[in-house]
Amino acid sequence: MKNNQRAQALVGKKGAWKGLNYTRERFGIIRKIIAHVTVDSWDNVPHVSFTYEPDVTEFIAEYRALKEKHLPEANITLNTLLLKAIVEALKAAPHLNAYLKYNKQSSRGSIDTIEEINISIPSKVDEDTTVTVNLKNANKKSLVEINDFATDIRRRAKKTNFDELYYRLAFDQSMDELKEFKPILVFRRLFAGRIGRDKVHPLKGEKKRDYYAIPETERLTLEDVRRGTLVVTNIGSIMREVDLKVNLLEIIPPQILAIALCPLIEVPRVVKSEEGSKAEIRKVLPICIAFDHRAYDFVALEPFVSKLEEIFASPKVIRSW
């Protein structure tokens, strides 16, 4: 079991637990942060989501040709290529790369369109740890540079103390919330984090000095895990052999867009050509797209989806990326 130091064998004494034998594993700091931001999402964001299912048969064929003939030394992953496709689609719909501010009491709101496309990417760095890293300035990176970023994240993760990193991240976010006049929320969180059985233990003394003596080029830093301008998660990279679709996912405030890439599937589809129409088995990539309905209506997604359609229909464009 993960995190054995937080696991406790118990026997239930009351309620639904009465008479049951169970193991309780208390949240570590990464799980606490995830729980906080997702609850904040569902409490405050009116979600709208849909599943887009493009035919990517030619796109996958072009990807394989890219790896074998054009960039064999780069070892480009399909995840990297899909991230680049999303970046190109966002360039056609820049209004979706934005932060939203909204006051429920006054109904006043604003949308800040952001020039930098910073993608928050959940990334599994070892058997027990998944962290969300920030691919900064993705709109200025080539396909190879995006691929190199993912490789470098895994390298630097090996020397990263994640409890220390996320403690500093939580403290940093709490200070931001304090500036937004949320003192009671911040006080409760800081109190829970430093008192009682669930308290966090940041590095101290010699251990702290030794850790921060590691160059930032060799470990993950706060800049690597700060919140981006949207989230893109690749479920297909985790469950490649499972036929599943994501129908809804969290939008992390103040972002207004979240995307989940699902496993590739093969389905029968009618293919039209000059010779007529015929049924074929085609490769399809289900993509769940969720957006904040306070910011936009469905029509705002049209240029984004249209650009993806264009890329998947004419995939030779990836050679210029």
* Sequence-ordered strand ranges (E) for the chain: 7-11, 21-25, 47-52, 98-103, 108-113, 119-124, 130-135, 230-234, 257-261, 265-273, 276-284, 287-292
* Per-residue pLDDT, 1: 41
* Per-residue pLDDT, 123: 84
317 forms bridges with which residues in the sheet? none
Contact assessment for residue 200 and residue 163, using Cβ atoms and an 8 Å cutoff: yes
* Per-residue pLDDT, 177: 58
Q: List the domains of the chain with CATH numbers.
A: 47-156+224-320 (3.30.559.10)
CA 35 to chain centre: 14
Give the pairing of strands 287-292 and 257-261: antiparallel
**Whole-number Å distance between alpha carbons of 92 and 45:** 24
**Whole-number Å distance between alpha carbons of 222 and 118:** 14
* DSSP type of residue 135: E
Q: Which residue has the tokens 């830093």?
A: 221
pTM of structure: 0.83
Q: What is the pLDDT along the chain (321 residues), one digit of tens a residue?
A: 445 566 788 898 998 988 889 888 888 878 888 888 888 898 889 999 999 999 999 999 999 988 887 676 778 899 999 999 999 999 999 999 999 999 888 889 999 999 999 999 988 777 777 888 999 999 999 999 999 998 898 899 999 998 888 888 877 766 565 555 555 554 555 555 555 566 667 888 999 999 999 999 999 999 999 889 999 999 877 777 778 888 889 999 999 999 999 999 999 888 887 777 888 899 999 999 999 999 999 999 999 999 999 999 999 999 888
286 forms bridges with which residues in the sheet? none
DSSP string, 64-118: HHIIIII-TTTT--HHHHHHHHHHHHHHH-GGGSEEEEEETTTTEEEEEE-SS--
